[in-house]
Amino acid sequence: MENTRCSWANPRNPLYIRYHDDQRLFEMLILESFQAGLSWECILNKREAFRRAFDGFDLEKVCAYGEEKLAALGQDPGIVRNKLKIRAAVNNARIFRTIQREWGSFDRYLWHWTEGKTISETGKVSSELSDAVSEDLKRRGMKFVGTVIIYSYLQAVGVINSHEETCFCRKSIRE
């Protein structure tokens, strides 16, 4: 079954398609988990270093990381070197892969929570939706996936549209 994509995502343009694929969803989940206690700007400024350090967010490579790679990541000055977050990234990668296998894709898992619909709301840092997704991911064993992190993640990947009414992005998401 082909996933329905946003109307603006030209299926002939691989850059648009990559935006929606599971690798992108994996990258954003890892980046959001590293944001815990920090600003998004801090993580965004380190995004390229994270991509390099985590092998382009190649899921299979991250799932295979052992102690040597974890130690190397802990010494990498380009990323956030929190050992708990680094270990969580590898743990979460393995659970992400399990969810992919269970649902056919992480994208399908993620969008089942809203029946494929984007939720539009502003002024929140968590919601019943982020509570439910967070609870499910924690039950599966993921770390650094509290409701505030998951709410931010759902915003980042387009499940929640929190752009204000006057923002041009809100209109473009609605269309």
Q: Is 153 among the catalytic positions?
A: no
Which among 2, 16, 27, 32 is annotated as catalytic? 32
Which among 8, 40, 102, 121 is annotated as catalytic? 40
d(CA 54, CA 73): 8
**Is the Cβ–Cβ distance between 99 and 106 less than 8 Å?**
yes
Which among 16, 19, 103, 113 is annotated as catalytic? 19
Residue ranges of E strands in 70-163? 119-120, 160-161
Q: Is 19 among the catalytic positions?
A: yes
Q: Is 175 among the catalytic positions?
A: no
Contacting residues for 137 by C-beta, under 8 A, at least 6 apart: 95, 145, 150
Catalytic positions, written as ranges: 19, 32, 40
